[in-house]
Amino acid sequence: MNKQMFEVMQRRHELLAKIAMQREQVAEIGIRWQAPFSLADKGLTAVRYVRSKPMLVAGAVAIFMIRRRGVTGMVVTGWRIWRLYKSAISFSAKIADHFRH
């Protein structure tokens, strides 16, 4: 075998060893990020559930408001929560679009 072929084979061996080491590093990183991604996935699932059941959320909020502040407080707080709900829906849509692309 000539010298050039030997150098190519040696370089190939070095690169294969480097690739194996990088694969192990990527696997370790994936294991580290598994729990945070799982939590984020559960959060997105909860947001999707809340978005699909607005009446359930409105009912729970209404019961909470009536118990705390009476009917007048319910109207004021309801208006604030409605604005918060609209902004939360908009924000969650932006986040979902970000993760889709």
- Residue 30 in any domain: the answer is no
- Residue 74 in any domain: the answer is yes
- Residue 33 in any domain: the answer is no
pLDDT value at position 68? Answer: 67
- Residue 92 in any domain: the answer is yes
If one counts the domains in the chain, the total is 1
Cα 14 from Cα 2, distance rounded (Å): 19
Q: Tell me the per-residue pLDDT of 7-38, one tens digit each, with 9 for 90 and over.
A: 999 999 999 999 999 999 999 999 999 999 99
CA distance readout (Å), 56 to 22, 49, 51, 52, 68: 49, 10, 10, 9, 19
Amino acid identity of residue 45, one-letter, is T
Cα 25 from Cα 20, distance rounded (Å): 9
Q: Tell me the per-residue pLDDT of 56-73, one tens digit each, with 9 for 90 and over.
A: 888 887 777 677 667 677
Parent domain of 89: 53-101
Write out the two tokens for 13: 């061996």
Write out the two tokens for 18: 């480097």
Write out the two tokens for 86: 């609209």
